[in-house]
Amino acid sequence: MSDIETTAKKRALSCVQPSGILTLGNYLGALKNFKAMQDDFECIFAVADLHAITVRQQPAALRQQIYSTYALFLSIGLDPEKSILFVQSHVKEHAALSWLLSCNTQFGEMARMTQFKDKSAKHADNINVGLFSYPVLMAADILLYKPDFVPVGADQKQHLEIARDIANRFNNNYGEVFKIPEPYIPPLCARVMSLQNPEQKMSKSDENQNAFVSLLDDKDTIIRKFKRAVTDSDNKICVSEDKPGITNLIGIYSAVTGKSTAEIEAEFSGKGYGDFKLAVGEAVAEELSPIYENYNRFISDKAELDRMFREGAEKASYLANKTYKKAMKKVGFVL
Ligand code: AQP
């Protein structure tokens, strides 16, 4: 039996797509919390590579991004001794369970998903069936591991809801197989917006490199990107609905320094945007610099990463296979 099955801690699971180099948004909205969660939960973290191909990827770049996402997991402090860290495509049950669940999901449910609408508008030349049904694969990712909790940002609530709906329907039709997971909103969950369009979230696949800070940007690049961040022209540093750019920068500064909004507004009272942007850039660069150093160490040893991939996949497969087999049997397949 794997260690994870023998403890009384609640289980949490989360996946990150290797659809680019992870950003400050992924870090402040997800990874930083994952690190903290490892002590309180039995954690399972996956590099969701199957999801990445809903948008066209260059094969060489995808391969590199799978390694780099996993190396970034390790670099921020996710620990394969404490948590299961694995690559989704290495565990065949994800795609397999997704088929069973697809046959228990309604077309109309998928058509309502806002992410499908957003992504199909962005990639009008490639509105593929995978993009449409990707929440079903996400439901499989979750339900295979019977987690108690799934950490979610505001943008992902709808996907967890659909996973819960699908699980309930399956359990009602065939008998109890899946645990119904609850959302977990981490205490310090920041939503980071694009530096070029603060009405949109920061995304690693944004075509404008200045819109996001990558976890592998060097100090000068980080400071330059913050200098160029789109703001308004009234030069007052405060949180306000009509100042989305400055509000976003205050949120970022608060997340990396731990200072409250009121403290930040007081610190920069009477100062200009130039000073503030530089301070945000420097604080972010300082927060990310150890990650960058760790990353260089992990990424330079691919053989060790391959070994960790295998070990993670073995632990994940043990759990996934049990759930998958149970679901297959309930549906009537002969195993
Ligand atoms: N801007 C963000 N602010 C806060 N949290 C964010 N997350 C992503 N962007 C932000 C959180 O990061 C985790 C992993 O997300 P993902 O990479 O699997 O998918 P995503 O949300 O679609 O991220 P991207 O960067 O926007 O990817 P692309 O560009 O490929 O679509 C999730 O917990 C997410 O909430």
Question: pLDDT, tens digit, for every residue of 144-200?
Answer: 999 999 998 766 778 899 999 999 999 999 999 999 999 998 776 678 999 999 999
**233 and 95 within one domain:** no
**186 and 78 within one domain:** yes
pLDDT higher than 50, residue 1: no
Q: What is the pLDDT of residues 99-126, one digit of tens each?
A: 999 999 999 999 888 888 888 888 889 9
User: What amino acid is encoded at 93 in this protein?
Assistant: E
Q: Which residue has the tokens 């921020």?
A: 76
What single-letter DSSP state applies at residue 149?
A: E
Within a domain: 203:
no
- Please state, in angstroms and rounded to a whole number, the distance separating the CA atoms of residues 58 and 119: 18
Within a domain: 111:
yes
Give all strands (DSSP E) within 228-293, no chain letters. Answer: none
Q: What is the pLDDT of residues 236-277, one digit of tens each?
A: 999 999 999 999 999 999 999 999 999 999 999 999 999 999
Active site residue 119: yes
| 104's tokens | 């228990």
**106 and 15 within one domain:** yes
Catalytic choice (204, 225, 243, 277): 204
For residue 233, what pLDDT band results from cuts at 50, 70 and 90? confident
Q: How far is the CA of 55 from the centre of ligand 1 (A)?
A: 14
Are the beta carbons of 48 and 185 closer than 8 angstroms?
no
User: What amino acid is encoded at 318 in this protein?
Assistant: Y
Element (H, E) at 15: strand 11-16
Are the beta carbons of 237 and 273 closer than 8 angstroms?
yes
User: What amino acid is encoded at 78 in this protein?
Assistant: L
- For 159, list phi and psi in degrees, rounded to 5: -70, -35
- Please state, in angstroms and rounded to a whole number, the distance separating the CA atoms of residues 274 and 278: 6
**20 and 104 within one domain:** yes
- Please state, in angstroms and rounded to a whole number, the distance separating the CA atoms of residues 78 and 251: 24
Within a domain: 57:
yes
- Please state, in angstroms and rounded to a whole number, the distance separating the CA atoms of residues 251 and 209: 20
Q: How far is the CA of 155 from the centre of ligand 1 (A)?
A: 8
**311 and 247 within one domain:** no
- Please state, in angstroms and rounded to a whole number, the distance separating the CA atoms of residues 157 and 139: 12
**This model's pTM is above 0.75:** yes
**181 and 97 within one domain:** yes
**261 and 308 within one domain:** no
**165 and 229 within one domain:** no
Within a domain: 26:
yes
Instruction: Give the number of domains in the chain.
Output: 2
**168 and 222 within one domain:** no
- Please state, in angstroms and rounded to a whole number, the distance separating the CA atoms of residues 17 and 178: 24
Within a domain: 67:
yes
CATH number of the domain residue 160 falls in: 3.40.50.620
Active site residue 201: yes
Ligand 1 atom with the shortest distance to the CA of 201: 1
pLDDT higher than 80, residue 4: no
- The alpha carbon of residue 316 and the mean position of all alpha carbons in its chain are separated, in whole angstroms, by 18
**141 and 289 within one domain:** no
Q: Sign of the CA dihedral 324, 153, 133, 15?
A: negative
Within a domain: 199:
no
Q: Which residue has the least CA distance to atom 8 on ligand 1? A: 26
Question: What residues are in contact with ligand 1 under a 6 Å CB criterion?
Answer: 16-17, 19, 23, 25-26, 29-30, 48, 153, 155-156, 191-192, 201-205
- pLDDT, residue 102, reads 97
**232 and 153 within one domain:** no
Q: Which residue has the tokens 């066209």?
A: 56
Within a domain: 11:
yes
User: What amino acid is encoded at 112 in this protein?
Assistant: R
Quote the domain boundaries for residue 220. Answer: 209-295
Within a domain: 165:
yes
**247 and 115 within one domain:** no
CATH number of the domain residue 217 falls in: 1.10.240.10
Q: What is the pLDDT of residues 48-104, one digit of tens each?
A: 999 999 999 999 999 999 999 999 999 999 999 999 999 999 999 999 999 999 999
Q: How far is the CA of 326 from the centre of ligand 1 (A)?
A: 32
